[in-house]
Amino acid sequence: MIHMIETCKKCGSMMVPEKKASHTLIKCRKCGHSEKRDIKDFKITDECKKEKIVIMSDDSVELPVTEKMCPKCEHIKAYYFLRQTRSADEPPTQFFKCINCGYAWREY
């Protein structure tokens, strides 16, 4: 069962569940406003799912290659990839790594 996030009617902040002995509340952490809820199969937990983060310490990932001059050794081929480093309405940042000397740079 999926529930939508509810917001406080007084201040607009997100309401969080709080289990009491006889019932369940949703409570605003900002202003303290609370509302009683009848929620079946409702589970409150302090556990957090942790995602595994993979750190690549070597160059084992095959990246695409483009013709881009390295500012350090002037070799004309470099690996490249794009990342959205700013807001969504801005273009992505281009990252390059020289195939010859390994120098890395970025262009906005």
> pLDDT tens, 29-79?
888 888 887 665 556 566 666 666 655 555 556 788 999 999 999 999 999
Sheet-wide strand order for 65-67: 65-67, 77-83, 93-98, 104-107
Q: What is the dihedral of CA 10, 16, 20, 25, to 10 degrees?
A: 40
Q: Active site residue: 35, 59, 74, 90, which one?
A: 90
The model's pLDDT over 78-93, given as tens digits with 9 standing for 90+, comes to 998 888 888 888 888 8
CATH number at residue 23: 2.20.25
Instruction: State which residues form the domain around 83.
Output: 65-107
CA distance 14 to 27: 8
39 vs 10, higher pLDDT: 10
Is residue 90 among the annotated active site residues?
A: yes
The answer to whether 80 and 94 have CB atoms below 8 angstroms apart is yes
Q: Is residue 55 part of a domain?
A: no
pLDDT for 13: 85
Burial (CB count <10 Å: 0-12, 13-18, 19+), residue 70: buried
pLDDT for 68: 93
Indicate the number of domains in the chain.
2
Is residue 47 among the annotated active site residues?
A: no
pTM above 0.75, yes or no: no
pLDDT for 71: 94
Q: Active site residue: 38, 62, 67, 89, which one?
A: 89
